[in-house]
A and B are shown apart, each in its own frame.
Chain A
Amino acid sequence: MTFPQFGRLYFVIVGHRDQPLFEFEALKHDDSTSSIPLQREDYRHLCQFVVHAALDAVEASLVGPQGSQMFFKNVDRFNEWSVSAFVTSSLIKFVLLHPVRDDSQSAMRKEESDIIRNFFYAVYEIYMKLALNPFYELDSEISSRGFREKLHQLVKKHLLNL
């Protein structure tokens, strides 16, 4: 398979049965001019494959020495993609696919870790608000438009510099 150079982000919330509850694909600004939208259909499934496969690594980290943490950076890696994850206390997993940074930019990597952590905590906050809604059943698909809009804002706020 030839994989395009990913300049994009893919965020998904995964439920207890490994099913995606919410998916969000974000296009970075500088990519919007390129021909990526044309290729988009071609590898949307790849995002799902990568995230799904990374769930094993996420679960492995949960039982690992750092298992009490919520945020797991770079649990898995696939070609140009790195996978970071956040696991809520109800074992709902937030998984973010983001482009791998160059190893040389170690200072940037540190910063990147903070950016992603902040993003996850911000998402966690809106997710908790959603979970408090009596009409939302835990572990069910998130169809709230408000949630999507809020997430869009969070992506814009946190991840555009990633």
Chain B
Amino acid sequence: MARTRLTPKEFLQECFPPRLLCLISEDAQEVCQKNNLDFIQLIRPFCRPTNDLISSDLTNRRFYMKNFYLHVCSLEQASPCNPNITRNLFNDHVTQCVENFDPHHSPQIDIALSDNTSVAVPATTPWYEVFRDDYIRFFPPYDYECIRDLLGCLFVVSTSIADPVGRAKALIEQQVQLQANQKNPRWLGPNILKYFVVLDDLSTSSPDTKVRGESALHYFTTTYGETNCCLLGINSGTGRNIDEAPFNPWENSMTYSTPSNDDMASAAVAETLPEVNGANEAEGMDHPLAITPHRTVTNGPDAEEKRVGMLLSQEDGRRIETFITDLVNKCLVPYAERQIKILNELIISKKGIHRTLVNATKKIFGPSGPPRPGAASSRSSTSSSSSSTNVSQVVYMTEAVEMHNRKAGDLSLILQLYDQALGFYQSARRDYSSDQAWNYYAAASEMCGLCVFLSPATAFSTVNAKAFPLQFFEAAIKSYSEYGPTKQQASQSLSVRSTFFATEVCKALGLFDEAAAFFKTHTEEFDLLSGLFLEQAGHCYLKSSPRKFSFQMIFAGYRYFKAAQKKLGILAYKQALKVFEGRQWSIAEDHIRMNIVRHSMLLRSYQEALPHFAFLLTGVRRQVASQQLLILKDFLTCRRSVQSSPDERVINLDIPLIKVQKIRTITAPANDSFLVESVDEEWLALEEKAVEAKGHAHPHFRHQQFVFSDKTDNRHSPMISAGEVLTVEIPLQNPLGLPVTVKAPRLTFQPGNLEETLVVEAVDDVTLAAEEETVLRFRLTVKETGMLKINGIEHVVYIQVENDTEEGPLCINARKSFEITGRRLNVSKADKAGIVYTPDRRLDIIVTEPRGKVVGNWENFPRGVLSGQVVRLGLTIDNQGGRSVNHLAILSSLPHVLIFFNAPKDGDILTLPLPNGSLEPRKKVSLSAVFVAPSAAGSYTIKCLLYFRSTPDGDKAPKYGIWRIQHDFQVLPGITLKGTIQPSLSPSQKEPENLITLQAAHVNEVQLQNISIKLIELLSTTPHWTISNLDETLPPDQKGTLISNGSLSYGEEAFLALLARQRYLVEGDSTTLSAFTIGPELDATDHNFIKAARTIAAFANEDGGRREQQDAIRLRLLWKVTLVTDGKTSNVFGIRSIALPIFTRSREGVEQAVVRSPPGGDNADGADQVRTVPDIAEILTKVPDDPFVSSIRLQSLTAAAGVDGATTQEAQYGVDIISWSVHLPEVEPSVNDEGFCVVSLTMELSCRLTTTHDSFEVSVDLRSGSRCFPVGARRHQVVLRPAESCPLAFQYCFTTAGTYNMAEFVLVKAMPVRQLQPSTVKLQRPANNQMLMRIL
């Protein structure tokens, strides 16, 4: 619960002071009015005596009374108010209080949220206190209690008239009339306390008045007792005396008593008037509160202008103080004690009779029967109207026996005799309960609760809070709400008052949850009250459950809005928002903000509404479009009102959202696909290499940059030469659900010298659909040198209004200034500790002298190529600068794939020839190049750096320029080529000869599954080695069948056996390269390609030849793929390279080399940057160099197949279908002088099955080992019927002596002919796993 001005104890004590009526004669009033005060106002500051006040209970125990307060009221104040007026009064007081409330300067309380953050909310709710105090003060009288009844009457007369005693008698008469005839004010008993005050105006004092005073006092003393009268001398001050100015206790109490706000008072009257009906007109209109406005309007402000109490001296004050103390101590307390005693005696005497009577009736009519009117002598039934509505309404007469207990209790409570009061109340409570007088019962219960809490004997505090009997209050509230006066009858509910008490007690005891429960039980129609209660309930949750607090605040705010307490509602919603903020409860947060905005707008506090629009409009789309439009309109209204000058029509608006951080500045005029935005290490290495080679090396090398974006380092300004085009890209996003049109966008610049000469291409209007994103592209041409700073954008936003014909589209002149934050630094310790951003200069452009500027693009560079494919490329070079370029070079990240003709090479840098030696401005030239795709499949990125120098001019501009071209391409697998080389060792030959076997395979099963690759030619690019085809020498039936037509289908392999002979070169004859064609028929394109290949080889050799060692034979396999697309055929040519190193004879024999081509070829030095892993097919076809390993691999393979077959084949056929064995020669062959021996072998194949009718297709594959290879066809196919057998002859060439297991080299597979599924191909195990052949 919120903090309050009074502690709960103080508040509760103050609720029930002893009340006295004050009847004043006009003359006495006049005496007081000299001070601009009436008598009650005069004595009010002294109504809290500070002296020791002592009361004693029935057992004569004495108690000091603390915080004692005497309530003296005029006749008007004692009468109940019109409920409508009070309600308005409450509203007005609360409004006034909220107006004066400053949330920033009120005490704050931190509430801890779940994620260890905390928010501060105001700890006080003064409006609640104001309301509560008003509610208690203007509480109407009820029959169920006597505590607010008047104890007695003060009669005030003055000595200024001749007969004060006579006047006093008239006043007494008036009091008697009041008590006898009128219902209000209510009196505690017939025998009231009477006290007489004779005012003596000392300022006009004369002996005459003195005598009159003395005689009057004497009369009162003798008639009413010594303690019941007082002669009070006032106005002893001199008025203008400055010394006495500080004595003025009235100033503060003045405003407290009467409402003085003109507005609210007149509003109260205005609102009352239509509602006033006959019943409460008479009662309502003559009430002082109703006429207060008129009174205050006439003399209120003027009276306060004058000094209050100027004739009153400190001495007067002391006299009044003594008077009050005497009144309380000598008169009031003894009177009350006396009354208690009398009542107590009455109770004791009547108890016996009453009880027996009641018990007798109860016995007769049963306990549950309705209470019968007249069952007790003093009991009467209620009026007919209320009895009809509620059967259990019981009303006691004022003097009824049942009320004695209550009265005694009330008097004890007033005298702060809490224990005694509790005793009386409890017995009263029991009585009422048995009488089923529930309202009385509730009132007594409530008082019991209060007494228990206030009693010093019980001493309840937060320590023993749980033991506190809250059930007193619970019972009270329950009974009140069930049996209490209905809404029409009761302006202010007793249960509400009980709630005030109960919650105060709970607060004092720290029982916040219980307090919240009390607050929440009320579902009042009175919105303000409901709102206040909900808010207090929220405050109860503040410490324990902040989220519930926010929930309650939402409800409170809602009720406040209904009660037209907008400011309070906004305040409540703001508290709730603090807990919700930034937690993505988007709909809830929007709801809160919308309400804040709406009501702030109504209150015209635009400044308050403004910050919330940003969240509503730029967040994720949550509202429907029409709602967004309304918000937008509100925003514009708000914005205009807040703006200092109404002329300014340009609004800093975020619609559409401009992503300032993502602005790009491009100093090159090319389109997006050619621009390299992220300059990585590789680029830097290339640039550095080029710059170093060209002699511009600088210790602080800084690369040149064309794109400045959020991904680049923008510490340095973009540099552009005069006359070049600069592009600024501004990304936009429409955050609304409505289409938004951006019209006439233009950039704004910081004033400088360049704007006049600046040419900006006009940008079209852009319409963004809901949530669409787009980019505004501005192209600027700067003519002069200097500095250009772009600082913002101005545009007109049009939003089409749907279903609204009266208004045109919303049209907003908007501007947005660009403030770009650079990257956060994280280098030094200071950077890491703090948050430091680099300056971002991407919009501060330096314009330099004109210079050359090369923009290069590739022409027809394919995105997908086959490995080794050869493509002719174009490189267009465009000089877009202002001066001619006279030197151009290129550097590539993949230097071997690009071949430029006639380009001198220096390391990796190629100097490109320019026609006529230079390139004039605005001229274009196209250079041709050849691209040979890398042999390994995968994704590649080729980065080419163009380096250029323009004609020297200008000192500021850099001496050189660069241009980056990046191209991504994909290399698809095509042909793999692998081979072995072994020296032919015939001693007769002088020149070394080498036997080479090559194996080419088609491995592309995706793109070229049904397309064959044609092999054209085999070319030796090593000029001193000639090659000749060995196959030519074989008889036709032993030729590889696949080679015969020269093309390979997918999965096929071709084998070439060739002989390489070394020859001695004649100088300058290096171009005649040895080659032989493979395919039988070649067309014209093939011949062209053969020629081209030689040219390419020549350029590739130019450096390669020098670098390479003598001991390698480089072979190139030329191939072609004919593709048919849409009826058109196109040829794709390619080269597959292999380098076979030559070894010399070693001691044991001859070393052999098996070379695989893919990573080799002419890129054997591994310069290729392969991004992906090599093609999987190639890994699978890889044969390990070690024959031992290979044999293991094969064996395990066969074994695995056997196991597999055991389950499937045995189920089908029992065992392997084919049995086979190789017949080994009887004589062990030996290697001949030339280092090899060819052995003819035969194998026997037989079908084991006898029963089925299937025939089997048997294929026999002959594999090469590391030291042996088959001669002739590598695959043989035979069809075998069941029980059939056939021999098969083949030849193997062995190069080294040793033992060979033929089971490793021969693979037999079988497949039923009729079976269509290829999966039934089964590997057939040999009859004997060890077919060892020994070569000597």
Contact = CB atoms under 8 A, between A and B. Distances in A.
A19 interface: yes
B986 interface: no
Interface residues of A, number: 21
Contact of B585 (A48, A56, A141): A48
A53 B551 contact: yes
Contact of B588 (A41, A48, A60): A48
Given A1-B558, A53-B550, A56-B546, A48 B587 contact: yes
B588 to A, nearest CB: 4
A82 to B, nearest CB: 16
Contacts of A50: 551
A49 B113 contact: no
A19 B585 contact: yes
Contacts of B541: 56
Contacts of A60: 544-545
Interface in A9-67: 16-20, 41, 44-45, 48-50, 52-57, 59-60
Contacts of A45: 587-588, 590-591
Contacts, number: 57
Contact of B115 (A18, A48, A54): A18
A52 B588 contact: yes
Interface residues of B, number: 23
A50 B591 CA distance: 14
Most chain-A CB neighbours within 10 Å: which of B545, B580, B624? B545
Kindly list the 4 A-B residue pairs having the minimum CB-CB distance in the complex, ordered from nearest.
A56-B545, A53-B551, A48-B588, A45-B591
27 contacts: A1-B555, A1-B558, A16-B115, A18-B114, A19-B583, A19-B585, A20-B584, A20-B585, A41-B624, A45-B587, A45-B588, A45-B590, A48-B585, A49-B551, A50-B551, A52-B547, A52-B551, A52-B585, A52-B588, A53-B545, A53-B547, A53-B548, A56-B545, A56-B547, A56-B548, A57-B545, A60-B545
Interface in B515-545: 541, 544-545
Contact of A59 (B114, B551, B555): B114
Contacts of A41: 624
Interface of B: 113-115, 541, 544-548, 550-551, 554-555, 558, 580, 583-585, 587-588, 590-591, 624
Contacts of B584: 19-20, 141
A41 B623 CA distance: 9
A52 B550 CA distance: 9
Contacts of B587: 44-45, 48
A125 B689 CA distance: 57
Given A20-B584, A49-B554, A55 B547 contact: yes
A65 to B, nearest CB: 17
Contacts of B113: 18
A49 B588 contact: yes
Contacts of A56: 541, 544-548
Nearest to B558: A1
A141 B115 CA distance: 17
Given A17-B114, A19-B583, A53-B551, 4 more contacts: A20-B585, A41-B624, A52-B580, A56-B545
Contacts of A16: 114-115
Most chain-B CB neighbours within 10 Å: which of A17, A57, A59? A17
Contacts of B551: 49-50, 52-53
Most chain-A CB neighbours within 10 Å: which of B541, B548, B588? B588
A1 B551 CA distance: 13
A64 to B, nearest CB: 13
A50 B548 CA distance: 9
A57 B548 CA distance: 9
A15 B1192 CA distance: 58
A98 B455 CA distance: 47
Nearest to A50: B551
Contacts of A19: 583-585
B771 to A, nearest CB: 16
Contacts of B546: 56
B841 to A, nearest CB: 35
A48 B579 CA distance: 13
A79 B624 CA distance: 28
A57 B516 CA distance: 15
A17 B113 CA distance: 9
Most chain-A CB neighbours within 10 Å: which of B548, B558, B587, B591? B587
Contacts of B583: 17-20
Contacts of A53: 545, 547-548, 550-551
A115 to B, nearest CB: 27
Contacts of A57: 545, 548
Interface string A83-108: 00000000000000000000000000
Contacts of A18: 113-115, 547, 583
Nearest to A52: B547
A7 to B, nearest CB: 20
A59 B545 CA distance: 9
B516 to A, nearest CB: 12
Contacts of B558: 1
Nearest to A1: B558
Contacts of B547: 18, 52-56
A100 B541 CA distance: 24
A45 B622 CA distance: 11
A55 B545 CA distance: 9
A1 B3 CA distance: 28
A154 B587 CA distance: 25
A105 to B, nearest CB: 26
B246 to A, nearest CB: 53
A56 B546 CA distance: 8
A5 B551 CA distance: 20
A130 B745 CA distance: 46
Nearest to B554: A49
A29 to B, nearest CB: 24
Most chain-B CB neighbours within 10 Å: which of A1, A49, A55, A141? A49
Contacts of A54: 547
Nearest to B546: A56
A48 B547 CA distance: 11
A124 to B, nearest CB: 21
A130 to B, nearest CB: 18
Nearest to A53: B551
B322 to A, nearest CB: 57
A54 B588 CA distance: 14
A19 B589 CA distance: 12
Most chain-B CB neighbours within 10 Å: which of A20, A48, A54? A48
A106 to B, nearest CB: 25
A57 B546 CA distance: 11
A130 B583 CA distance: 22
A61 B1043 CA distance: 83
Nearest to A55: B547
Nearest to B592: A45
A55 B548 CA distance: 8
Contacts of A44: 587
Most chain-A CB neighbours within 10 Å: which of B550, B558, B580, B584? B584
A121 B1273 CA distance: 68
A39 to B, nearest CB: 14
Contacts of B554: 49
Nearest to B117: A17
A24 to B, nearest CB: 13
A52 to B, nearest CB: 5
Contacts of A20: 583-585
B737 to A, nearest CB: 13
Nearest to A141: B584
A56 B113 CA distance: 10
Nearest to B627: A41
A17 B581 CA distance: 11
A15 B175 CA distance: 72
Nearest to B562: A1
Contacts of A48: 585, 587-588
Contacts of B545: 53, 56-57, 60
A16 B115 CA distance: 7
Contacts of B550: 52-53
